[in-house]
Amino acid sequence: MSEYLKHVSSIENRLFAYSILHLSGFLKLDRNISIGYYSIIKTIYPDTSVYPWPIGRKVAAHIIHKNFIEEDENSNTADLIEKYTKIAHAYPGYLENGLVEFELYILLALLMVKDYRMLMDLSESVQKIYLPTNSACVFDLLFNSQNSIPGYCLEFAKYKLGKSHHPDLAGLFENAINHFATTFDDFQFLIFLNIFLFDIYTYQGETESALAAYNSAMNLSCLAQYSFYEALLLNNHPNQQSDQRAKAQKMISDSGFEKSLFTLCPGPCFE
């Protein structure tokens, strides 16, 4: 990616590259790399000529940086999402393609920081905005495309907020995992689907099913070499006396990231 940056100059290409490098550093729990690339990303200001996908990743980088590293007193997340949503959705033909590319990594970042209220609001707005403009846009939860992800996020956010949700969340997420779109080159959404299951089964007292979901998420995290998810999961190991928790706490402490965001609290949180 560094070599790629030597040969590009457009806002779109630079934002694309730096956002990937930023997320890569974050997932490695490398605070310095994450800060370094975010300092560049925040100086890049896309307009309606830039494809929405890297714009969404700019917003996601802001959410991650603000919550895990340092508060930005001059920037409000809700205002930033609103501002860049207007810019992204004005890109010619974007809403008609129905791929929700702008929102995907914002939803991912909101899951990371456990902002379920904003996650619910954004997931709901996605469906309201896209469906009227594109009758072919499918948000069916059983369709298992990237278009299904806002729906999964919405149902999980409702569950965490103690609101009415899908009657069989565990079955919904099990089905999503078993038929997950193989075109995705990013394991993060699949990891979160397993974390959803781990949360639900733990809350319901279904120990074996919770452990199976936990192990699936951990295996994916190790396969992808995502230290962030490894630390998150180890810190919430089903065996509370496990020495794995001590390993996680060292990883988190060494990273310098906000420690509280590495704790999972199964069940509704009624924020």
Residue 270 lies in a domain: no
- Give the integer Cα–Cα distance in Å for 143 and 153: 15
The confidence score (pLDDT) of residue 135 equals 46
pLDDT higher than threshold 90 for residue 4: no
Residue 223 lies in a domain: yes
pLDDT tens digits along 10-40:
999 999 999 999 999 999 999 999 999 999 9
pLDDT tens digits along 224-256:
999 999 999 999 988 876 788 889 999 999 999
The confidence score (pLDDT) of residue 72 equals 67
Residue 132 lies in a domain: yes
Residue 47 lies in a domain: yes
pLDDT tens digits along 129-139:
876 555 444 45
Comparing CA positions, the residue from 96, 173, 184 lying closest to residue 142 is: 173
State the Cα angle at 93 between 90 and 98, rounded to 5°.
Answer: 100
Residue 269 lies in a domain: no
Domain that holds residue 159: 2-262
* Percent of the chain residues topping a pLDDT of 70: 87
- Give the integer Cα–Cα distance in Å for 165 and 167: 6
In total, how many domains does the chain have? 1
Residue 89 lies in a domain: yes
Residue 268 lies in a domain: no
CATH code assigned at 232: 1.25.40
Residue 233 lies in a domain: yes
pLDDT tens digits along 111-132:
999 999 999 999 999 888 876 5
Half-sphere exposure of 19 toward its Cβ, with a 13 Å CA cutoff? 26
The CA-to-CA distance between both ends of the chain, in Å, stands at: 40
In eight-state DSSP terms, residue 87 is H
The confidence score (pLDDT) of residue 147 equals 77
pLDDT higher than threshold 90 for residue 8: no
Label residue 207 by pLDDT band (50, 70, 90). very high
Orientation of helix 52-64 relative to helix 11-27, angle to 10°: 40
- Give the integer Cα–Cα distance in Å for 82 and 72: 17
